[in-house]
Structure 1
Amino acid sequence: MKDIKNLSDCNSWDYVRTLRHDLLNDEKTFSVMEPIWELILLQQTHFCSMVEERSIQLEDDFRSDEKFADNPLLAFMKCVERCQYPPPEIIIAINDCFRLYFAGGGKIELEEIFFANRRIPKLGNNSAQIAKHDKHNLFQTLCKMESHKPKDKRKSMVVLAEEYLGKRGLADKDPESFLRQHRAWLEDQRSSEQN
């Protein structure tokens, strides 16, 4: 693991680029992974071209960094979701993230390593914030769709919220409370767009 200044450096494209340079120039023990990865990629490309009915599409350039994903963890996940082998430098970077986490002996949160921040009181960790955003973003989409219906066919916001919460397995949640949270979320979205 290279010297790092911040805990989240291992999950950065700068770190991956350094690893890639070392791998491609035989400057690292892991450089043996490069020719193996190229063989896997070649076989996978050959397999996908032979099996036309399968809808596997290979990414043209795994090594386009920010164009491929926002960070190495998301690139790793994207590769797995597409049934593709990630490049060795991404595997090594993710491995280094976990090594750093375990070396911290419980004093470091994965949140700090993967997302450069600690858990925020009342907002939660990164995944809780994303889940909250996704939940309200989807509800907002439903609200917009509802607003395009003729007035006499539109559901009230309370009814829309009840149905939405019911479909998400949250029927016991108070729709009025959810709508207050949704209005606060909308306000946060508007203010962040203005900044």
Structure 2
Amino acid sequence: MSSFKLNNWSEVKKARKAIEEGEPYLSGAMESIWPLIVEAHKKASESHKFRLHDEVYQRDRLESGDAEPLEKFLHMINFGLYPPPEIMIWIANCFNTYFQKNGELTLDEVFFGRGNYALKKRREAKYQLFDLFLEARDDLLIDRKPVTTQSQLAEIYYKWLDENLENVDKPDDFESFLKGYRRWKNKTDK
């Protein structure tokens, strides 16, 4: 069987195009509610320590970085953001494809093609999460003083993990973690 993979931005663009062309079931409530969600979330984020960057909800920036559509969906959900309609429609299309294939394809094959995608992404996820944490922070302060040491940064990050996410492994050696993060960041920023 040839490789089959729907987890790519061209599939999300197809959903976006269908919305823009006014397909009745796509251009209805989800699309009309989207601007209201964005505005409400911006107002709500003003009262938190996290700032909402305008580009978070810019549809033309969805493909920025190295995240594929499913990762982008999970990142948005994990940070309390609402994915745009085209990503939710794309996910529904993936599941519909899975059911239409009557067992010929696994969900892994539908979303990712062949190979162990989960193992590869597990290795990258710890750095992506930290990167999002750094981007989302309005300020990195302890007792109203700027964070200046890696141990202070580790303290804030570990506290944030405990308060916001369950079942996330914390780095044992934060200095080694930061070295790995910097290597990953340099690679992904190219």
TM (norm. structure 1) is 0.54
Show CA shifts across 1:45-69 (max 9, x none): 12212x1x33253415243232055
Distance 1:108 1:29 in 2: 26
Give the superposition deviation at 1:127. Answer: 1.4
In proportion to residue count, which structure has more helix?
Answer: 1
Show CA shifts across 1:30-86 (max 9, x none): 11111111111111112212x1x3325341524323205532111111110111100
The structure-2 alpha-carbon separation of the partners of 1:97 and 1:40, relative to structure 1 and needing over 3 Å to count, comes to same
| Counterpart position of 2:15 | 19
Q: How does 1:54-65 map to 2 (within 5 A)?
A: 54-58=49-53, 59-65=56-62
Any conservation in 2 of the 1:56–1:82 contact (CA below 8 Å)?
Answer: no
Any conservation in 1 of the 2:45–2:52 contact (CA below 8 Å)?
Answer: yes
Give the superposition deviation at 1:128. Answer: 3.1
What is the alpha-carbon root mean square deviation over aligned residues?
A: 2.9
Distance 1:79 1:98 in 2: 19
Larger Rg: 1
Answer yes or no: is 1:36 the counterpart of 2:12: no
Distance 1:95 1:68 in 2: 23
Any conservation in 2 of the 1:24–1:31 contact (CA below 8 Å)?
Answer: yes
Name the count of aligned residue pairs: 124
TM (norm. structure 2) is 0.55
| Counterpart position of 2:90 | 93
SS, match of residue 11 in structure 2: helix
Distance 1:103 1:82 in 2: 32
Answer yes or no: is 1:127 the counterpart of 2:122: no
| Counterpart position of 1:170 | none
Of residues 78, 82, 86 in structure 2, which corresponds to 1:81?
A: 78
Q: Unmatched 5+ residue regions in structure 1?
A: 120-124, 138-166, 168-195
| Counterpart position of 1:183 | none
Q: Unmatched 5+ residue regions in structure 2?
A: 128-171, 173-190
Distance 1:76 1:98 in 2: 15
The structure-2 alpha-carbon separation of the partners of 1:42 and 1:127, relative to structure 1 and needing over 3 Å to count, comes to same
Distance 1:111 1:98 in 2: 11
Distance 2:3 2:108 in 1: 13
Q: Identical aligned pairs, as a percentage?
A: 28
By relative contact order (CA 8 Å, sep 6+), the higher-ranking structure is 2
